[in-house]
Amino acid sequence: MKPQNPQLDEPLIFKKSSKMRNGISILKSDVGDVIPGNTIPKELLREDIKDFPEVSEIDVVRHFTRLSQWNFGVDTGFYPLGSCTMKYNPKINEDIARLAGFSKVHPYQSDELNQGALQLMCELEEFLCEISGMDAATLQPAAGAHGELCGMLMIAKYFKEKDKPRKKVIIPDTAHGTNPASSNLAGFTVVSVKEENVGVITPEAVASVMDEDTAALMLTNPNTIGLFEKHIKEIAEIVHKKGGFIYCDGANLNAIMGIAKLGDMGVDVIQFNLHKTFSTPHGGGGPGSGPVGVKKLLEPYLPKPRIIKKGKRFSLDYNRPKSIGRLKAFYGNFAIMARAYSYIRAMGHDGLKKASEMAVLNANYIREKLKGHYYLPYNQTCMHESVFSDKFQSEKDVHTIDIAKRLMDYGFHPPTIYFPLIVSGAIMIEPTETETKETLDSFINAMISIAQGTKDNPDIVKNAPHTTQIGRLDETRAARNPILRWKG
Ligand SMILES: *Cc1c(COP(=O)(O)O)cnc(C)c1O
């Protein structure tokens, strides 16, 4: 089928080429002819570049402007990617990050000349501690998973210093996949605990595996099926009694900020994903930031340097003998911190709380409206996201991938699919707080229409997308046998 949008008909730039067409005019040299081979070594010169596109300046501008508009982003449409918190990021935070005083500071400047940046970082640490109920924080890690690694390395070091290294970490199957990966990298063996059909981990399940060789229990809360781990306090007591720590993956903080503090529930270490919860656009592979908050006991192990405040002066403290050391060059991704700082200051306590309340309300609105149309494996009030599956549609041989592809025909970015792994054919929808009811309704209508289409004419869904520039890709072959050069 032809694309409906002529903007998508843009050909390759090679196809726009016309012999001798040019985008630049160079004046004749007035210092004599440049002799090839004199200024540039001969072996680096090419006689001809085969099929080099010859186009005018406006051709180039239009070509790349069009291509740039093929990108789908939060600024162009609804992006309900579960576990990612693809919220709209207010532009004021971008402006703040671009202020010359922030964007042009250099990490080699002396502390004296970096007082403003250090103050921002120090206060951001304080804000994150206040939001999570922790005692101290580091801003160094560059992403959520990097923060997890930081936390697990601190826990490992704590036991090593005590001369009682522990080998195991308990991880429920509702935790994010990065949790076992980070534990493993930090040298631990992962003990997995499963909970059939409950959706949250129970104290009994934890008690049955917790022992004095277990360094920590690592969980994601709210967890990856969008449910709050409601037994967390009791579970923390069980783990603490045997001398272990509770690590909480805080990437899903968008559901509870301003409402509940994980520190009050017995969590000892938590990472924040500033690029999810605190207003940094992500998804394009740009820089992230995964600060880590800890309780007092683990404070000496935080990466160095730490920012310290004496009166009105801020400085960097490298004299930290128990620290796990450095995790990243300099002090972390500063521009992300500037955005988060600006976001938190602009929102205030009430604003952050309202954001979480709206995020949860929006997710439950979608869950309620779609639940007759798509199978809901854990049919209960959810937090900021809810997980459906393709169980009903599978009867017509229509699967999650088909539903996701078909959504593109309706102009929506597909949700997260086939994750979490504990739900077969998962469709994980996270609307975030920044969408209007009209947007949610049109997404819901698209999903219902796809469910209906599956009954009436499953082939249309199975062969989607129909309105995009290219149809269904062979993703396995593309990954196994990538063709990275245009051959004409
Ligand atoms: C996104 C996410 C992570 C990983 O964060 P990155 O910044 O991508 O490394 C970990 N846990 C959960 C629950 C997440 O949603």
279 and 420 housed in the same domain:
no
138 and 40 housed in the same domain:
no
326 and 373 housed in the same domain:
no
pLDDT in tens, 146-185: 999 999 999 999 999 999 999 999 999 999 999 999 999 9
Fill in the DSSP letter of residue 9: G
For ligand 1, mutation pick of 139, 173, 178, 248 (most atoms within 8 Å of CB): 178
Residue nearest to atom 5 of ligand 1 (CA): 144
328 Cα: distance to centroid of ligand 1 (angstroms): 18
Residue nearest to atom 2 of ligand 1 (CA): 251
460 Cα: distance to centroid of ligand 1 (angstroms): 34
User: Are 266 and 232 spatial neighbours (Cβ–Cβ below 8 Å)?
Assistant: yes
Cis peptide before 53 (omega within 30 of 0): no
174 and 138 housed in the same domain:
yes
Does a structural domain hold residue 34? yes
Does a structural domain hold residue 225? yes
141 Cα: distance to centroid of ligand 1 (angstroms): 12
Task: Give me the amino acid identity at 36.
Answer: P
144 and 31 housed in the same domain:
no
50 and 198 housed in the same domain:
no
352 Cα: distance to centroid of ligand 1 (angstroms): 20
The total number of structural domains that make up the chain: 3
211 Cα: distance to centroid of ligand 1 (angstroms): 28
Q: Give the chain's residues under pLDDT 70.
A: 1-6, 34, 36-37, 283-285, 486-488
Residue nearest to atom 12 of ligand 1 (CA): 251
* Minimum-distance ligand 1 atom for the alpha carbon of 148: 10
Judge if pTM exceeds 0.95.
no
Does a structural domain hold residue 277? yes
User: Are 324 and 146 spatial neighbours (Cβ–Cβ below 8 Å)?
Assistant: no
pLDDT in tens, 204-263: 999 999 999 999 999 999 999 999 999 999 999 999 999 999 999 999 999 999 999 999
Does a structural domain hold residue 137? yes
* Minimum-distance ligand 1 atom for the alpha carbon of 224: 13
| Domain extent at residue 389 | 356-478
* Minimum-distance ligand 1 atom for the alpha carbon of 288: 7
244 and 365 housed in the same domain:
no
Does a structural domain hold residue 111? yes
Residue 23: count other Cβ atoms within 10 Å of its Cβ. 13
Q: CB within 6 Å of ligand 1 — which residues? A: 83, 143-145, 176, 178, 220, 249, 251-252, 273, 288, 290
CA distance 266 to 180: 21
Residue 193: count other Cβ atoms within 10 Å of its Cβ. 19
368 and 467 housed in the same domain:
yes
Q: Where are the strands (E) in 344-425, listed by range?
A: 386-389, 416-417
Instruction: Name residue 193's beta-bridge partners.
Output: 172
144 Cα: distance to centroid of ligand 1 (angstroms): 5
361 and 332 housed in the same domain:
no
Give the per-residue pLDDT at 482. 87
Among 342, 366, 423, 280, smallest CA distance to 78 is for 366
40 Cα: distance to centroid of ligand 1 (angstroms): 48
Give the per-residue pLDDT at 3. 45
CATH code: domain of residue 399: 3.90.1150.10
Residue nearest to atom 8 of ligand 1 (CA): 144
218 Cα: distance to centroid of ligand 1 (angstroms): 14
Does a structural domain hold residue 274? yes
428 Cα: distance to centroid of ligand 1 (angstroms): 15
Give the per-residue pLDDT at 91. 94
Residue nearest to atom 7 of ligand 1 (CA): 144
Q: Where are the strands (E) in 176-328, listed by range?
A: 189-193, 214-220, 245-249, 269-271, 292-294, 306-310, 313-317
Does a structural domain hold residue 245? yes
